[in-house]
Structure 1
Amino acid sequence: MIPAAFAQQTIAREGAPGRTWLDQLPALTEHHLGRWHCTQTAPAIHGQVALIVPATRAGTPVILKLSFPHPGHRFEPTALATWSGTGAIHLLERDDQAFAMLLERLPGETLSTATEDPWHLAGTLARRLAVPAPPEIPRLTATLPGWSRQLLAQSKHLGHPLPRRQIDAALETVEALAEDRTDTMLHGDLHFANILRAHREPWLVIDPKGLAGTAAFDAATIVRDRIEEITDNLEPGLHRRLATYSEAAGVDPTLARRTTQARAVSSALWERLHHQPRLGIALADRIAELLL
């Protein structure tokens, strides 16, 4: 029942706790399917951290999503409940202790296939998601001191592989974000694979992180989609995408650019630490420099 690739990557990432969770997963799946009166209709599939079980409930297509119990996944159901289906997938049932959700089922086509400008569409969705955040949602500003410390520690550990000006610019951006008082919901991991075609609305988001703060933060992930289309003219291509997204999302384009640069610095360091392909490191390096 559990896809082999999903089991392998979970154990590789989580170690013994991942193996224990996988051992419990069949029973968890059966429990929640029965509890929520669902019938499985197809083999389970998976994302990076969750098992996805296609099912029906009273004749309606649904999916059961069971995520590895990691703190980073804790606020996804709260974000979806806050949006209540507006611009986002419908949350039908939740069991926060088990990291289980029952969700509406979407066709599966992602925004990467859109014939319209996908960066404008993503920005429009980001604007719609920017509703007042409930008090239990983590604030982006609360993560910023840790981000600064991580940048400095990783850079030191790696022997300072990036020019100091790139690190300094990223740290200055973190300070600017700390002064931002935006207290609305943002997705936190907005990219084309997390925006799916739907029936009741043209496009809906899935897999939010559950954060409150400026949607300028999400510019960094959305502008890197389909990057191969602008590789030969990367700087003007990035600026064009940032401008389109920022206008549609209603965010400060300068802050979107600066946040994208800072997150590129983070990516450049993280990818080196985790021995990622040189091509990805080179791209992060270029973005970190071009958006200074």
Structure 2
Amino acid sequence: MQLIASALAQPTWVRNVRDVAGRGTEAWFASLPNLLEALRENWGLSSLAVRPGLTYGLILYAEHRGRPAILKIFAPGMPFAAEVAWYRAQAAGVPEVWGVDEARGAILLECVRPGTEVAELADDVANFTMAAAIRALGQARESDFPFKPVTELASALNTLDGRVPETLLTRACEIFRGRGEGDHVLHGDLHHHNVLLASEGSFRVIDPHGYRGPRAFEVGCLFHNPVGWRPANLSSALARRVDIMTSELPFTRDEILDWAFAYTLMSVAWSAEDGREIPPWDFEVARLLDRL
């Protein structure tokens, strides 16, 4: 099937599936033609096309009852159940869920139009929109799903032991210990590429990781994103973002600064896993946030 061939031609996606699915990877790849045909027939899909730039989920554009749709299929080991539970908990600001196939690990979603990433907007406009997205997600309903607590993420910081100043590492760990408790349903990866513009000035948040924790945690991902963001004066740009979030959100300035710093240093740790180099840009963001 040509659709599957076009997905398998995307090396980043193939590598990530292998990392997650392990020994089950080849069997899952082999099952995709039949799996995709079953989903197409059950949901009445047409005009299927694989989205370029796949990372983890297999994402296809489709038509569903005359409306543009997104079909997202998860390999074994990917957080399908957490993503479904996250969408079901949301009260505003997310695409409509048109179908869930638990046996096949698939979700059918509204395709957001025009779908422009907030990352493409001017920085202030983008960050006011991100603040609005955080407010919308703050309306999430309670969920019985066992989302992982954000405190578990702190273990990634161990990667940086002996590689960054101890004062930075200690502060990040203390933030997770002191501020990490909470029972709110969180996105967990809320950056400028995961918020899309919809009609009439609205937006939709996509691609959740799904965690539990304090609502202020969501701001953390904003400060080293979007990809390629390189302001002429980084310190001033970071301070401006802190000011926007402080004015627009029901969190204290200290909460925002703490999570901005801790999340950014955690992102540095993820990038430096397996002996890889510490990313200089992200580390500089963390260092400057520590001084604000």
Q: TM-score, normalised by structure 2?
A: 0.84
Choose the corresponding residue for 1:283, options 269, 281, 287. Answer: 281
How far off its partner does 1:246 sit? 3.9
Corresponding residue for residue 258 of structure 1: 258
**What SS is found at the alignment partner of 1:196?**
strand
The one-letter code of the counterpart of 1:285 is: F
Instruction: Answer yes or no: is 1:136 the counterpart of 2:134.
Output: no
Q: 1:98 is matched with which residue? A: 104
1:104-183 pair list within 5 angstroms: 104-107=110-113, 108-114=115-121, 117-138=125-146, 142-144=149-151, 146-152=152-158, 154-156=159-161, 160-179=162-181, 181=182, 183=183
1:238 counterpart = 2:256: no
Q: Given the superposition, is the C-alpha separation of residues 50 and 250 from structure 1 closer, same or farther in structure 2, using an over 3 Å criterion?
A: same
What is the deviation of 1:236? 2.1
* Amino acid in the other structure paired with 1:5: Q
Please say if residues 112 and 197 of structure 2, whose CA atoms lie closer than 8 Å, have aligned partners that are also in contact.
yes
Q: 2:62 aligns with which of 55, 61, 64?
A: 55
SS at match of 1:109: coil
Q: Secondary structure at the match of 2:58?
A: strand
Q: How many angstroms apart in 2 are the aligned matches of 1:202 and 1:118?
A: 12
- State the superposition RMSD in angstroms: 2.5
Q: 1:69 to 1:168 in 2, by over 3 A?
A: same
CA contact (8 A) 1:137 1:210 kept: no
Equivalent pairs, count: 280
Counterpart of 2:142, as a letter, is P
Structure 1 stretch displaced more, 94-103 or 200-209: 200-209
Secondary structure of 2:193's aligned partner: helix
Once the two structures are overlaid, the 10-residue window that deviates more, 5-14 or 241-250, is 5-14
CA distance in 1, matches of 2:175, 2:287: 14
Query: What residue number does 2:190 align with?
Result: 190
3-state DSSP class of the match of 1:74? helix
Q: Percent identity?
A: 22
CA–CA distance in 2 between the matches of 1:170 and 1:209?
21
Instruction: State how far apart, in whole Å, the 1-side matches of 2:156 and 2:16 are.
Output: 24
Kept in 2, the 8 Å contact 1:137–1:211? The answer is no
Give the aligned partner of residue 20 of structure 1: 27
Cα distance in structure 2, aligned partners of 1:54 and 1:241: 34
Deviation at 1:207, TM superposition (A): 1.0
> 1:93 aligns to what SS in structure 2?
strand
Shift of 1:31: 0.9
What displacement does 1:200 show? 6.6
Distance 1:170 1:272, change over 3 A: same
CA distance in 2, matches of 1:57, 1:273: 41
Aligned equivalents of 1:97 and 1:143: distance in 2? 28
1:65 to 69, 72, 76: 72
Cα distance between partner residues in 2 of 1:187 and 1:67 = 18
Three-state SS of the structure 1 residue aligned to 2:164 is coil
CA distance in 2: counterparts of 1:185 and 1:99, whole angstroms? 21
Q: Secondary structure at the match of 1:117?
A: helix
Identify unmatched segments of 5+ residues in structure 2: none
Distance in 2 between residues matched to 1:228 and 1:136, nearest whole Å: 38
Q: 1:5 aligns with which of 10, 21, 29?
A: 10
Alpha-carbon displacement from aligned partner over 1:87-106 (angstroms, at most 9, x marks no partner): 11111111234320011112
Task: Summarize the alignment of residues 199-214 of structure 1 with structure 2, pairs less than 5 Å apart.
Answer: 199=199, 202-214=202-214
Q: Are 2:39 and 1:32 equivalent residues in the alignment?
A: yes
Partner deviation per Cα, 1:22-57 (whole Å, 9 max, x = no partner):
221222111111111222x14212531112222222
After TM superposition, the score normalised by the length of structure 1 is 0.84
